[in-house]
Amino acid sequence: AGTGWFQVQRLFADRLHRQHWCCTDCFTVRWTRVCVDWECLHLDIRFSGVCLRVPRFRTTSFFCAAIELYLCILPKPPIVDIAIAISWTVTVSIGAEIIGKNIFDNLTTTVCDKIYETLIEHKVIFFRDHPLSSEQHIALAEKFGPLETHAYVQGLDDHPEIVRIVKGEEEKNQWGENWHSDVSYNTKPTKAVILKSIKIPPVGGDTCFSNMELAWETLDEKIKDKIKDKKAVHTSLGAEFFIDDYKYMQGNKKRNYDEYENEHPIVRTHPETGKKILFVNWTYTKKIIGLEKKESDEILEKIFEHQARLDLTCRFRWTENAVAIWDNRSVQHYAISDFFPGRGLGYERIMDRIAIEGDRPN
Ligand code: SIN
């Protein structure tokens, strides 16, 4: 039973469109109690002690429209409370979109806790139409832990915590364009990332996310046995990978540009949920320690193919002023570079990224 405004509307939309009938839903919106018996096809609306029963309502689209309209005109509770209470999933496997206005205007502990809970549960969360200033972006990120500096890429002059990801109109490549978990080559890979869209092409430039807890659960048992206690080498690939191939990305002048590597358990445990996570990725993981190169390559190839299975993923179509927050420990992502030559997709794409420091995987 939901009590929220958007949840009610969403419930109706979901049930009506997905034809998911075998249950009863009850919820209260302000003074009105609504009970929907989807199986027996009736809907009760109780208001001030009066019960209005609408029989066989779902067969009549007029009733559905009328109910949605009725729910729409009811007075709305304070927007922040309801916005944070309400989220819905993007796919069964991963992702939730949180609906509401001005969510980041008042970052109380309650609001931040709810955002964080939703993040941990759904692994990546999305917000649309939130024109965050850089200061608000930083303030939000700081609620989740100390901020991280990128080893190779320089932040904005006035806000060094923010890395501006720019794909120029004429560029064919896009930063982050294969499956990866951010900076998995560091001793302490990123905990979470908050990405905000500034300029989005009219077509293309979506980002995909894949659930690595589910990837572990669904992995072939023989592969699981082979890798469960092993570590793998993650390699940073050097500055070229992050800057030189991207005209508008600026190098972090204070930093060492050499390539470096770290070893991490292939199966890490989420520090908060205790769930197992498949922690290798196509971009940075180069070798399973303790196996011959050939066997390591073969197993990694199978794992990478498995991690990219569409049923583990969701895909986010960006709009300007959208925000995505992902748990970088349990999620991989892929910024789709569908700006192919000759397809007329010569658009600019600009994103601001803030990363939150993680801990050592174990
Ligand atoms: C990244 O890989 O961190 C960037 C993702 C994106 O730009 O969509």
Q: Is the CB of 227 under 6 A from ligand 1?
A: no
Q: Name, of 26-35, 114-123, 219-228, the range with top average pLDDT.
A: 219-228
CA end-to-end span of the chain, whole Å? 38
pLDDT at 37: 66
pLDDT at 87: 56
Beta-carbon contacts of residue 162 (< 8 Å; ≥ 6 apart): 134, 137, 138, 155, 156, 352, 353, 354
Identify which of 133, 172, 194, 154 has the alpha carbon closest to the alpha carbon of residue 324: 194
- The closest residue, in CA terms, to atom 7 on ligand 1 is 335
pLDDT at 91: 81
Q: Is the CB of 352 under 6 A from ligand 1?
A: no
Span 77-95, mean pLDDT? Answer: 59
Out of 55-59, 88-92, 147-151, pick the least confident.
55-59
Identify which of 158, 148, 156 has the alpha carbon closest to the alpha carbon of residue 182: 148
φ, ψ at 232 (rounded to 5°): -135, 160
Identify which of 353, 324, 328, 326 has the alpha carbon closest to the alpha carbon of residue 163: 353
pTM of the model: 0.77
- The closest residue, in CA terms, to atom 4 on ligand 1 is 176
How far does residue 323's CA lie from ligand 1's centre (Å)?
A: 12
Q: Is the CB of 175 under 6 A from ligand 1?
A: yes
The 10s digit of each residue's pLDDT in 95-144 is: 988 887 788 888 888 888 889 988 998 999 999 999 999 999 999 999 99
CB 267 within 8 A of CB 322: no
Q: Is the CB of 183 under 6 A from ligand 1?
A: no
- The closest residue, in CA terms, to atom 3 on ligand 1 is 176
- The closest residue, in CA terms, to atom 5 on ligand 1 is 335
- The closest residue, in CA terms, to atom 2 on ligand 1 is 176
DSSP H helical segments within the chain, as ranges? 5-18, 61-73, 79-85, 109-122, 134-142, 212-217, 221-227, 238-239, 293-307
Residue 19's pLDDT band, with cuts at 50, 70 and 90, is: very low
How far does residue 44's CA lie from ligand 1's centre (Å)?
A: 47
pLDDT at 332 over 50: yes
Residue 215's pLDDT band, with cuts at 50, 70 and 90, is: very high
Identify which of 354, 347, 339 has the alpha carbon closest to the alpha carbon of residue 143: 354
Q: Is the CB of 182 under 6 A from ligand 1?
A: yes
Number of residues that make up the chain: 362
Please tell me what DSSP assigns to residue 180: B
pLDDT at 70 over 70: no
pLDDT at 251: 85
How far does residue 297's CA lie from ligand 1's centre (Å)?
A: 26
Residue 257's alpha-carbon distances to 176, 242, 254, 334, in angstroms, are: 18, 10, 9, 24
- The closest residue, in CA terms, to atom 1 on ligand 1 is 176
pLDDT at 15 over 80: no
Q: Is the CB of 171 under 6 A from ligand 1?
A: no
CB 355 within 8 A of CB 182: yes
* Ligand 1 nearest-atom number relative to CA 205: 8
How far does residue 339's CA lie from ligand 1's centre (Å)?
A: 15
